[in-house]
């Protein structure tokens, strides 16, 4: 039998994302072993050449990279804890979404068990995996990242953010926070135009074009935030934006649309204006969001 030149990979967890990851490793020529708690999710992967393991110990085998893609922090412990001894000396990349402190806790658990731990935050949907827009952020063991980079690049652009295992999660959740707020902003707009008989489908392209275009101003906003100097507004002042946000709140209320989201924006703006910052740059509202002390 011919030996594969590619490192063997084990994927633990065959949800929508785990299946996409395993398919990418297989497509890239890696001998791939898969395991899932509930049987039956491996059929397509096995047809494509994966080996299905009946339990975690057999899935881990004796060499290669172990990739966990489970539901949450607790499920990672459920799966990895009983296999701690078997994993000793092995590289583990955990691509399950966890909070930064949970990632650090897993890294500490891994260290206690002699496991080389890399944490990852997947910035992609399952359909995006291996495509040009997929990016995965990593932190923790640089050794695991460097040694397995070729395999990890099969999933999407691989960025290593340093040895703090919680850093990739921090970026992941910071980016997801922006995503959730942006999506809810789109839904707010869709609820407004619906009162004029416009469908969300008709509104979607227009909203996507506007939101994509406006993100071009992030870098100039970031200059104010990083310098802490809001004295000169690049474009419009906080006072100008207060007038706009107040009008949007009135229009939303008139349309019967809930104020849960835009009301929060108004509260942030109002507080800074009340503190006398109205003539300054809109970015001043960042000061109402940031942690008062850096941990
Ligand atoms: N899907 C997505 O769009 C996002 C994109 C960004 C990253 N996330 C994160 O990836 C992790 C996995 O997501 P997923 O989409 O694969 O999730 P599910 O399809 O719900 O599959 C969950 C798998 O976890 C297994 N599982 C859950 N609890 C346990 C447990 N206690 N012990 C063992 N396995 C467990 C579950 O197994 P089963 O229910 O089929 O038996 C699935 O394999 C996730 O962190 C996302 O936030 C995806």
Atom number, ligand 1, closest to the C-alpha of residue 74: 31
Q: Give the C-alpha distances (Å, rounded to integers) separating 221 from 212, 216, 229, 233, 246.
A: 15, 10, 11, 9, 21
Atom of ligand 1 nearest to the CA of 98: 45
Structure tokens at 132: 């040009």
Band (5; pLDDT cuts 50, 70, 90): confident
Strand order across the 32-35 sheet: 51-52, 32-35, 9-12, 65-68, 91-94, 116-123, 135-140, 157-160
pLDDT of residue 4: 66
pLDDT tens digit string along 234-279? Answer: 778 999 999 999 999 999 999 999 999 999 999 999 999 999 999 9
pTM: 0.93
Residue nearest atom 34 in ligand 1 by C-alpha distance: 37
Residue 62 has pLDDT above 90, yes or no: no
Q: Is the pLDDT of residue 227 over 70?
A: yes
Distance from residue 36's CA to the centre of ligand 1 (Å) = 10
Judge contact between 212 and 248, C-beta under 8 A: no
The pLDDT of residue 2 is 53
Please give the distance, rounded to the nearest whole angstrom, from the Cα atom of residue 157 to the centre of ligand 1. Answer: 21
Overall average pLDDT of the 122-140 stretch: 98
CA proximity to 236, closest of 281, 283, 171, 182: 281
Closest listed residue to residue 190, CA positions, set 268, 269, 258: 258
Q: What is the mean pLDDT of residues 282-286?
A: 96
Nearest residue (by CA) to ligand 1, atom 11, is 96
**What pLDDT does residue 290 have?**
87
Q: Is pLDDT at 295 greater than 50 in this prediction?
A: no
* Residues of the chain above pLDDT 90, percent: 94
Question: What local confidence, expressed as pLDDT, does residue 29 receive?
Answer: 97
Give the model's confidence band at 32: pLDDT under 50 very low, under 70 low, under 90 confident, else very high.
very high
Question: Is the pLDDT confidence value at 294 over 70?
Answer: no
User: Could you tell me the distance, in angstroms and rounded to a whole number, from the CA of residue 182 to the centre of ligand 1?
Assistant: 24
Q: What is the pLDDT of residue 240?
A: 96
Alpha-carbon distance values, 247 to 65, 214, 260 (Å): 55, 20, 15
Q: Are 280 and 230 in contact (CB under 8 A)?
A: yes
Ligand 1: distance of its center to the CA of 237 in Å?
Answer: 44
User: pLDDT digits over 163-193, tens only?
Assistant: 999 999 999 999 999 999 999 999 999 999 9
* Mean pLDDT (whole number) for 116-144: 98
pLDDT above 80 (res 12): yes
Give the closest residue (by CA) to ligand 1 atom 47.
97
Query: Alpha-carbon torsion 138, 42, 79, 86, what sign?
Result: negative
- Which atom of ligand 1 is nearest to 125's Cα? 3
pLDDT in tens, 89-117: 999 999 999 999 999 999 999 999 999 99
Ligand 1 centroid to 288 CA: how many Å?
A: 35
Model pLDDT, residue 48: 98
For the cut 80, the answer to whether the pLDDT of residue 293 exceeds it is: no
Cα 136 to middle of ligand 1, angstroms: 16
Ligand 1 pocket (Cβ < 6 Å) reads 13-18, 36-38, 41, 69-72, 75, 78-79, 96-97, 122, 125-126
User: In 3D, which of 180, 278, 173, 185 has the Cα closest to residue 233?
Assistant: 278
- Answer yes or no: is pLDDT of 3 > 80: no
């Amino acid at each position: 039998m011919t030996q594969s030149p590619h490192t063997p990979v084990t994927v633990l967890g065959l949800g929508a994302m785990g299946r996409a990851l395993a398919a990418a490793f297989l497509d890239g020529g890696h001998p791939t072993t898969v395991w899932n708690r509930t049987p039956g999710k491996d059929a397509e992967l096995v047809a494509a050449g994966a080996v299905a393991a009946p339990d975690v110990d057999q899935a881990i085998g004796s060499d290669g990279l172990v990739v966990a893609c489970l539901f949450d922090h607790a499920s990672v412990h459920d799966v990895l804890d009983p296999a701690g001894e078997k994993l000793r000396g092995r590289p583990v990349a955990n691509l399950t979404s966890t909070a930064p402190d949970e990632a650090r806790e897993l890294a500490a658990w891994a260290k206690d068990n002699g496991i080389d731990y890399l944490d990852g935050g997947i910035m992609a949907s399952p359909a995006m995996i291996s495509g040009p827009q997929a990016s995965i952020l990593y932190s923790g063991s640089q050794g695991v990242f460097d040694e397995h980079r070729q395999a990890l690049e099969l999933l999407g652009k691989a960025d290593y953010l340093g040895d703090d295992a919680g850093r990739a999660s921090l970026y992941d959740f910071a980016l997801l926070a922006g995503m959730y707020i942006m999506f809810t902003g789109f839904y707010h707009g869709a609820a407004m135009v619906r009162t004029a008989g416009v469908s969300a489908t008709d509104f979607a392209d227009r909203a996507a074009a506007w939101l994509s275009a406006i993100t071009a101003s992030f870098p100039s906003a970031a200059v104010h935030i990083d310098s802490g100097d809001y004295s000169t507004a690049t474009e419009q002042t906080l006072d100008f934006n207060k007038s706009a946000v107040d009008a949007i709140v009135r229009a939303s209320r008139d349309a019967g649309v809930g104020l849960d989201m835009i009301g929060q924006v108004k509260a942030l703006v109002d507080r800074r204006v009340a503190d006398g910052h109205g003539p300054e740059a809109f970015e001043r509202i960042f000061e109402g969001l940031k942690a008062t002390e850096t941990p």
